[in-house]
Structure 1
Amino acid sequence: MPRPGVARRLHRGGGAGWIGWLLAVLIVPVALSGTLLAVWPAVERVAYPTRFAATGAIDPDACVTALHAGAAPDRRIVAMEHGAGVLRFTTRGADGADRLFACTARGAGVSVADATHGAEAWVRRVHAALAVPWVGRGLVAAAGLALIGLALSGLALWGVAVFRGSDGWAWHRWLGLAAALPVLAMAASGLPLLWRGAAADGGAAPLAHPAQPLRIVEAHALALTSGTVARVAWPTRRSPDWLVTIAAGTARQVKVADDTGGALAAVARSDGGGTGEGVAASLHGVRGTGWWRRMLLALTGLAVVVLVATGSGRRTIHTRKPSG
């Protein structure tokens, strides 16, 4: 007969109800913010309806020109992401600090606005560091490790319950079973992504004025593989190639040489092919994610919130219940 003692103590925080609520304070904001990011294109349609009133595609090169005209001279573009009715640019200054800019259509031209303190940027900060400076990433890492422990111990307890024929809190166990693998994938893949940022390219500075315009880069990338452009990473002094992420079921990346504009190679996985970070980014749904995966990510986040909240409540009731 299975012995659930260790798994039960791990799943119940050693029997202390306050541990469950402490974990809930860490886990729930990360899960809710992840859910919001997964469905953000739909949120944008509701929150920013004027973005979708404009006709025609946004000219990315016009956005780059407008951004350079309005930003500080030392600020360089790191990457551009295609959103619903908006192009998002990540820029980096000489001090290493990143700022986000959103480019939208306005009449026959474009409009660029600082989005560093916008709603999406705030949700991203919550998801990456609970919007807490210095120690935030460590807190999110602790939440991720706790989720892994809860998922594994929950699976063990589910097996024990099935073996013994117990039906108490069956809905909690079955919801946990359905969400266990997605939760493990999200938590395990999110941990290595916490420290990517500037270290992802080894600190190499993006080129201030690459030779190729964005239109040419995207066209050459799409000539090599079908799909839609999800993200374009700027060439750097260390790697003078554009890196174009194509959303086509499984996200692909195409390298485009900045000197010639020719597409060099395409790889099946996003963010670096078979590298550890690339696999993590692909699992976590960072870029080039289709709607079916966005819905799966959103449902996983909601399941985590329900499981953590109800589990914490049950632990509190269990610890207060008199023995005997």
Structure 2
Amino acid sequence: MTKLAWRRTWFQIHKWIGLLLAILIIPLSLSGAALVWHDALDRIVHPARYQISGATLRTPETYAAAAQAVLKPGERIAQITMPEGKGPVTVAAAPATVDPDRRGPPPRMMIYLDPPTARVLDVAERNAGLVRFLHVLHGSLQVPGIGRTIVGWIGVAMMVSSFTGLWLWWPTVGAFTKGLRWRRHRNTDTNIHHMAGFWIALPLFVLSLTGAWISFPAVFGGQRAPDRGAQRAVPLAEPGQPLDLVVARAASVRRGALRSIAWPTSATADWTVTYAGGHVVKVADDNGVAVAAPARRPGGLALTMRRIHDGEGMGIVWQVVIFLGGIAPAVLAVTGVIMWWRAREWRAKVRRP
């Protein structure tokens, strides 16, 4: 196949990926750009839940009692999470029954508490609010069940689009530096498409690869898919062990800053107590025996891929790159559609007698 034939082939692939996926790429990329600073965005949207009076912590029983006072009948506490740094204590509660036809994890009610006083700062559904909406939009396009798979294939398509776009950007005559000129075309939108596409091609390829990795962990990383049965399990109504005893038994096995306590559920009869550093202690609900479990240590290729994709702890430079990598695909989609429509009108004029 000649060089010209390859160019025509890549052009068709690049064009139809952009045209067919533009309506999905725009919300996916813009939501990703916004989520680069999701913590700051959540503080802006929900300032009440961050109006804490200090960082001093009280006992988990105090937080459980404060949360129980605002729960609806039938709701059960599923987990208490302590803040890392300045932030509220969060208590997650689940309903007593779960709709068997419901796709995805069951609904959760989140209670935000002031650490020193256990005062209720805010109560909201886990899936409510702008930030959570953006997370679900970016992760599954708000489509239950198959949404995550759709997003994964969009990531694969974006990898192909990045490669073919860079190929098409490369000047056919002369050195590649000719492609760095702003005015390669008389239309501004075409110049924007060429220039933005070149500078964002490599970061966009990396973001698309990591996004596909997150969507298909079993394919890329050999990890098992989440257990749907465990996701839909509900907390026990009356655990056999009181919370204070569970905390004391766990502390006898492992020392450190307490991070979270997960209640026993219909799927597992163990309390799960997590400490700083990812250290986990399982406490049996029937006899109270505490056993140290393998630590959930930060690391591994899967976590690295997620950090690269999210920018968590990657520094301000990479976070800015990710932000631009979210804005650029939307710009490229819009300018690409404009270029296609203009070419369509031009071809129609040529065909007229």
Query: In the aligned structure 2, how far is the partner of 1:303 from the partner of 1:158?
Result: 15
Query: How far apart are 1:58 and its partner, in Å?
Result: 4.7
Cα shift readout 1:189-237 (whole Å, capped 9, x = no counterpart): 13569xx78716264333345534486588679737xx883x5543334
Query: In the aligned structure 2, how far is the partner of 1:115 from the partner of 1:171?
Result: 40
Alignment of 1:221-232 (within 5 A): 223=255, 229=259, 232=261
Structure 1 counterpart of 2:206: 181
Structure 1 counterpart of 2:14: 11
Alignment of 1:228-267 (within 5 A): 229=259, 232-243=261-272, 252=278, 254-258=280-284, 259-267=288-296
> Residues 64, 121 of structure 1: CA spacing in aligned structure 2 closer, same or farther, 3 A cutoff?
farther
Q: Are the aligned partners of 2:29 and 2:330 in contact in 1 as well (CA < 8 Å)?
A: no
Query: In the aligned structure 2, how far is the partner of 1:85 from the partner of 1:8?
Result: 50
Structure 2 counterpart of 1:87: 89
Structure 2 unmatched ranges of 5 or more: 100-105, 185-193, 219-224
Within the alignment, does 1:147 sit opposite 2:155 as a pair? yes
Structure 1 counterpart of 2:328: 306
Query: In the aligned structure 1, how far is the partner of 2:123 from the partner of 2:135?
Result: 15
Structure 2 counterpart of 1:101: 110
> Residues 215, 34 of structure 1: CA spacing in aligned structure 2 closer, same or farther, 3 A cutoff?
farther
Query: In the aligned structure 1, how far is the partner of 2:134 from the partner of 2:264?
Result: 28
Within the alignment, does 1:74 sit opposite 2:74 as a pair? yes
Cα shift readout 1:21-47 (whole Å, capped 9, x = no counterpart): xx3332333333344444222234444
Q: Are the aligned partners of 1:144 and 1:191 in contact in 2 as well (CA < 8 Å)?
A: yes
Query: How far apart are 1:149 and its partner, in Å?
Result: 0.9
Aligned residues: 301
Structure 1 counterpart of 2:222: none
Query: In the aligned structure 1, how far is the partner of 2:271 from the partner of 2:315?
Result: 26
The DSSP-based 3-state class of the residue aligned with 1:64 is helix
Q: Are the aligned partners of 2:111 and 2:123 in contact in 1 as well (CA < 8 Å)?
A: yes
Q: Are the aligned partners of 1:254 and 1:264 in contact in 2 as well (CA < 8 Å)?
A: yes
Q: Are the aligned partners of 1:90 and 1:98 in contact in 2 as well (CA < 8 Å)?
A: no
Structure 2 counterpart of 1:120: 131
Query: How far apart are 1:146 and its partner, in Å?
Result: 2.0
Query: In the aligned structure 2, how far is the partner of 1:31 from the partner of 1:222?
Result: 42
Question: 1 or 2, which has the higher strand percentage?
Answer: 1
What code does the residue aligned with 1:317 have? M
TM-score, normalisation: structure 2: 0.66
Query: In the aligned structure 2, how far is the partner of 1:13 from the partner of 1:92?
Result: 44
Query: How far apart are 1:261 and its partner, in Å?
Result: 4.0
> Residues 293, 43 of structure 1: CA spacing in aligned structure 2 closer, same or farther, 3 A cutoff?
same
Structure 2 counterpart of 1:29: 27
> Residues 161, 186 of structure 1: CA spacing in aligned structure 2 closer, same or farther, 3 A cutoff?
same
Cα shift readout 1:246-298 (whole Å, capped 9, x = no counterpart): 676xxx4624324234433214358xxx8xxxx75763359x98432797467
The DSSP-based 3-state class of the residue aligned with 1:41 is helix
Cα shift readout 1:59-112 (whole Å, capped 9, x = no counterpart): 443232222233234323334445552233333211354123132218733216
Query: How far apart are 1:56 and its partner, in Å?
Result: 2.7
What code does the residue aligned with 1:150 have? M
Q: Are the aligned partners of 2:78 and 2:235 in contact in 1 as well (CA < 8 Å)?
A: yes
What code does the residue aligned with 2:133 have? W
> Residues 140, 267 of structure 1: CA spacing in aligned structure 2 closer, same or farther, 3 A cutoff?
closer
The DSSP-based 3-state class of the residue aligned with 2:119 is strand
Further displaced range: 85-94 or 106-115: 106-115
The DSSP-based 3-state class of the residue aligned with 2:55 is coil
TM-score, normalisation: structure 1: 0.70
Query: In the aligned structure 1, how far is the partner of 2:321 from the partner of 2:252?
Result: 36
Query: In the aligned structure 2, how far is the partner of 1:309 from the partner of 1:261?
Result: 55
Q: Are the aligned partners of 1:82 and 1:88 in contact in 2 as well (CA < 8 Å)?
A: yes
Query: In the aligned structure 1, how far is the partner of 2:253 from the partner of 2:314?
Result: 24
Structure 1 counterpart of 2:306: 284
Query: How far apart are 1:155 and its partner, in Å?
Result: 1.9
Identity in percent: 19
Q: Are the aligned partners of 1:204 and 1:237 in contact in 2 as well (CA < 8 Å)?
A: yes
Structure 1 unmatched ranges of 5 or more: none
